[in-house]
C-alpha cells in the first residue's frame, strides 16, 4: 500500500494527455486505436509512478521539512530507500519491456520520458528555468506517445499548445510553492521570486491562448477536420486559463494542478465541456 502511495495515482490524471492523438485524429470510437491508447495510458501511469519513487528518494531530506510532503512514506521512514529503489527499478524494467511489446516506437518515447524525468528527479530540477521546461517536455512526450501508438500525425500547433499549457501549470506550481513555504521547500526556488514568476506566467498565458487560437483557425486544421467551427471551443480555453489563474492568485491553489482540477467544480465542468465540444465538432 505504501508503494502505491509513493506512485501517486491521484496524479495519473496528467497522463490522460496521451488520448489527445486519439481524439484529434478522429479515432476515438475506433476500437483498436482506443485499446492501444488505453494500454499505453496504463503503462505511462506505471512508469510515471515508478519515477515518483526515485523523486521521493532524492527529495527525502527536503520533504521532511515540508508541511505536506513530510507525510510521504519515504520521508517519514515507512519505506526504506533500499526497498523504494528496488521497487522503482522493477516497475520501470517491467513497464518498459511491456512498452516494447506494445509498440517499439512507443518504447523509445517511454525510454526518453523515463530518462528525462529521472534526470529531473536527481539533477535538472535544481536548475532555474530548466526545471519548468523539463516538466513541460515530459508532458509533451506523453502526447507524442499517444501519436506514435496509433501511428498518426498530429498538428505541430497541438504539440505547441500541450507544451505551453504544461509550462503554464509548472510555473503556477512554482509560484504556489514559493508563496507557501519559501525557498527552503525546494532548492531551485531560491533562484525565483514572485515578480519573475508572475512575468513568466503572464508571457506563457498569452502564448498558450495565441497558440490555441491560431491552431483552431489555421488552414491545416480547417482542411483536416473539414470544419471551421473549432473556433467555438476558444471560450472554454479562455475561461479555463482565467479560472486557473484566479485559483492560483486568489485561492492560493496550484501546487498540484490535478487536485485543483478535481476540487474546483467550475474548472472541471469547463474542461469536460471543452472535450465534449471538440469531439462534437471534429467527429
Stated pTM of the model = 0.89
Q: Which CATH number fits domain 1-153: 2.60.40.10, 3.10.20.740, 1.10.357.140, 2.60.40.420?
A: 1.10.357.140
Residue with the larger pLDDT of the pair 184 and 118: 118
| Domain extents in the chain | 1-153, 155-283
Mean pLDDT of all residues in 254-260: 80
pLDDT in tens, 188-217: 888 899 999 999 999 999 999 999 999 999
Q: How far apart are CA 9 and CA 48, in angstroms?
A: 9
Q: How far apart are CA 61 and CA 213, in angstroms?
A: 44
Mean pLDDT of all residues in 19-26: 90
pLDDT in tens, 112-156: 999 999 999 889 999 999 999 999 999 999 999 999 999 988 788
Q: How far apart are CA 138 and CA 136, in angstroms?
A: 5
Cα torsion for 249, 15, 218, 212, to the nearest 10°? 0
Q: How far apart are CA 99 and CA 113, in angstroms?
A: 12
pLDDT at residue 103 greater than cutoff 90: yes
Q: How far apart are CA 232 and CA 212, in angstroms?
A: 12
Instruction: Name the grid cell of 115.
Output: 530518462
Amino acid at each position: 500500500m505504501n508503494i502505491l502511495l509513493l506512485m501517486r495515482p491521484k496524479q495519473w490524471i496528467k497522463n490522460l494527455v496521451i488520448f489527445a492523438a486519439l481524439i484529434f485524429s478522429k479515432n476515438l470510437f475506433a476500437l483498436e486505436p482506443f485499446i492501444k491508447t488505453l494500454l499505453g495510458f496504463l503503462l505511462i501511469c506505471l512508469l510515471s509512478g515508478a519515477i515518483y519513487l526515485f523523486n521521493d528518494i532524492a527529495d527525502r531530506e527536503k520533504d521532511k521539512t515540508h508541511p505536506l510532503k513530510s507525510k510521504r512514506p519515504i520521508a517519514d521512514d515507512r519505506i526504506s530507500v533500499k526497498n523504494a529503489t528496488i521497487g522503482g527499478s522493477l516497475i520501470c524494467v517491467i513497464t518498459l519491456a511491456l512498452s516494447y511489446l506494445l509498440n517499439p516506437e512507443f518504447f523509445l518515447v517511454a525510454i526518453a520520458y523515463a530518462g528525462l524525468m529521472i534526470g529531473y528527479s536527481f539533477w535538472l530540477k535544481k536548475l532555474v528555468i530548466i526545471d519548468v521546461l523539463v516538466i513541460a517536455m515530459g508532458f509533451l512526450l506523453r502526447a507524442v506517445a499517444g501519436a506514435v501508438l496509433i501511428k498518426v500525425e498530429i498538428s505541430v500547433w497541438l504539440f505547441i499548445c500541450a507544451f505551453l499549457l504544461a509550462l503554464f501549470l509548472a510555473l503556477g506550481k512554482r509560484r504556489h510553492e514559493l508563496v507557501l513555504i519559501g525557498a527552503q521547500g525546494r532548492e531551485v526556488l531560491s533562484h525565483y521570486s514572485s515578480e519573475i514568476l508572475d512575468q513568466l506566467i503572464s508571457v506563457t498565458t498569452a502564448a498558450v491562448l495565441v497558440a490555441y487560437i491560431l491552431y483552431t483557425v489555421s488552414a491545416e486544421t480547417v482542411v483536416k477536420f473539414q470544419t471551421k467551427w473549432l473556433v467555438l471551443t476558444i471560450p472554454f480555453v479562455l475561461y479555463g486559463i482565467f479560472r486557473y489563474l484566479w485559483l492560483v492568485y486568489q485561492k492560493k491553489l496550484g501546487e498540484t494542478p490535478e487536485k485543483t482540477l478535481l476540487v474546483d467544480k467550475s474548472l472541471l465542468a469547463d474542461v469536460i465541456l471543452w472535450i465534449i465540444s471538440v469531439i462534437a465538432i471534429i467527429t
